[in-house]
Amino acid sequence: MSTNIRWGIISTGRIAHKFAQATKLLPDADLVAVGSRSKEAADAFGKELGVPRCHGSYEDLVADPQVDAIYVATPHPFHRPNTLLALEAGKHVLCEKPLTVNAGEAAEVIRVARAKGLFLMEAMWTRFLPVWVDLKARLDSGEFGQIAHLQANFGVPMPADEARIHEPGLAGGGLLDLGIYPISLASWFLGKPDKVLSWATMTKTHVDERTAMLFSYAGGSFAMLSSAIDVWTTCEAEIVAEKAWIRVPRFWEAQSYEIVTPDARDVVTKPFESGYQFQISHSMNRIRRGQTESEVMSLDESLEIMKTMDGLRAEWGFKYPFE
């Protein structure tokens, strides 16, 4: 493998564009190939973003000997087959969140990645943003004491005619698109919940429209989380610790946070371009070291988060046709 990591992208949609643009910010990342279900779409993507090798099938992409790692940017139901396709071809994989649509699928792709000794990570890009890296280190150090309460919400109106969001067979609903962000945040800071209470309202197509979740933890901490696909919410995170109150605006793409203590108020700002480049850089560093998993977004944690979301959907009486 070359010093630079040579990337290929499965899909040519919006998220694939963001990933491609982020690679341009990294001198050690080479975006060398893209794969689509049509050669025309792959060629158009390649022309727009300067990708030299354009494949008219995912199979041709993963078979390309010039590619070291694959970014899976397809919709949720295709994460499992696309990730398995890349792993079976001997490629490292960074897969857009959620890793799969249920815990059974997640366990399968994890098992294959480990058996083949290949890097696999769920692309929860928020964890790698400078703001969150800084804040997590400060909280882990004990600077602010134990976390008592975490709150996060993510609500964005989704088009009513967008099939991917509103169709159960396409893993629609707010949980896997938006709810996973606050759930993953709570998991990162507080671990696996001991008890879960939740509520959801459903759309006419029977996918979750609004959710409210209350997690409790053995140490006495709580997390209050919510998502919505029909209304805007503040999209903020708040962490109440023993010695400080912390507010993170637009937490999923945060560029600042505010800390309030009894004696002071401080705003920490860490601006960036794109934001996707941090998870890409993290993945490449681990691949070069020969690591097959990330210590920041571990495969075991991705699996536990999926189990939690499976449990939530079971509470709501909601199972996808392919579960």
Task: Specify the 3-state DSSP secondary structure of 212.
Answer: strand
Give the C-alpha separation, 76 to 300, whole Å: 19
> If pLDDT is split at 50, 70 and 90, which confidence band does 169 have?
confident
* Catalytic, out of 91, 97, 192, 204: 97
- What proportion of the chain, given as a percentage, has pLDDT over 70? 98
Give the domain ranges of the chain.
5-124+276-292, 130-271+305-315
Known catalytic residue at 97? yes
pLDDT of residue 2: 58
| Of 5 and 318, more confident | 5
Whether the per-residue pLDDT at 1 is higher than 70: the answer is: no
The whole-number average pLDDT for the span 144-154 is 97
Please state, rounded to an integer, the average pLDDT across all residues of the chain. Answer: 95
Residue by residue, DSSP assigns 161-205 as: T-HHHH-GGGT-SHIIIIIHHHHHHHHHHH-S-SEEEEEEEE-TT
The whole-number average pLDDT for the span 177-197 is 97
Compute the half-sphere exposure of residue 38: CA atoms within 13 Å on the CB side of its CA.
5
CATH of 5-124+276-292, one of 3.40.50.720, 3.40.309.10, 1.10.40.50, 3.30.390.50: 3.40.50.720
pLDDT tens per residue across span 31-78: 999 999 999 999 999 999 999 999 999 999 999 999 999 999 999 999
> If pLDDT is split at 50, 70 and 90, which confidence band does 4 have?
very high
pLDDT of residue 319: 65
CATH of 130-271+305-315, one of 3.30.360.10, 3.50.50.60, 3.40.50.300, 3.30.365.10: 3.30.360.10
pLDDT of residue 161: 75
Residue 77 neighbours by CB under 8 Å, 6+ apart: 101, 169, 170, 171, 322
pLDDT of residue 168: 87
- What proportion of the chain, given as a percentage, has pLDDT over 90? 90
